[in-house]
Amino acid sequence: MRCESTTTIARPPAEVFAWLIEPEKVRQWMTGLEVYQPLEPGPLAVGSRIRQELSVSGQHLKFELQVTLLRPPSAAELRFEGSGFKAVNEYTITSANAGSDAAVTWVISGDTTSFKAKLLAPMVQAKLEEKLDTDLVRLRALLG
């Protein structure tokens, strides 16, 4: 399973990056998000864990994200497993319009780890693709 969405935001990459990973900022633009809570104190770093709960297409999903790459302002990667899925959440930010804008690409890719998830995967994938598009539109509007 692979879902991808891209948008351009009229802010420099350094300003946009924090909105993709900092819990108090993520809560403002990610739809269906019920819980997004770091499990360790302090700023996020490689190895940090985050408890995430969200609803996608009526399905309540629970994950423990682990930060596996943190390269501000250009990339972040969070791996997760739960609710029958094992996946990676990747954010890539590049400069656009001579550095005044940020081109943001959000990719979620992974596999199912349970029979139930395998049955739900086609429906979840379609809704997840829609969710990524919607969420990046919300982020762009929030920062616009």
H/E stretch holding 40: none
Residues of the chain under the 50 pLDDT cut: none
Place of tokens 């996608």: 56
| 85-96, strands of its sheet edge to edge | 2-9, 101-112, 85-96, 75-82, 59-71, 49-56, 33-38
Type of residue found at 47: G
Looking at residue 38, what is its pLDDT? 97
Q: What angle (nearest 5°) sits at the alpha carbon of residue 108, between those of residues 86 and 44?
A: 85
**What are the boundaries of each domain within the chain?**
2-138
Please, are residues 109 and 2 in contact by the beta-carbon 8 Å criterion? yes
pTM: 0.90
Looking at residue 109, what is its pLDDT? 95
Nearest to 62 by CA among 84, 88, 93: 84
Q: Which CATH class is domain 2-138?
A: alpha beta
d(Cα 36, Cα 93) in Å, to the nearest integer? Answer: 22
Looking at residue 83, what is its pLDDT? 75
d(Cα 8, Cα 136) in Å, to the nearest integer? Answer: 9
3-state SS class at 39: coil
3-state SS class at 85: strand
Place of tokens 């969200």: 54
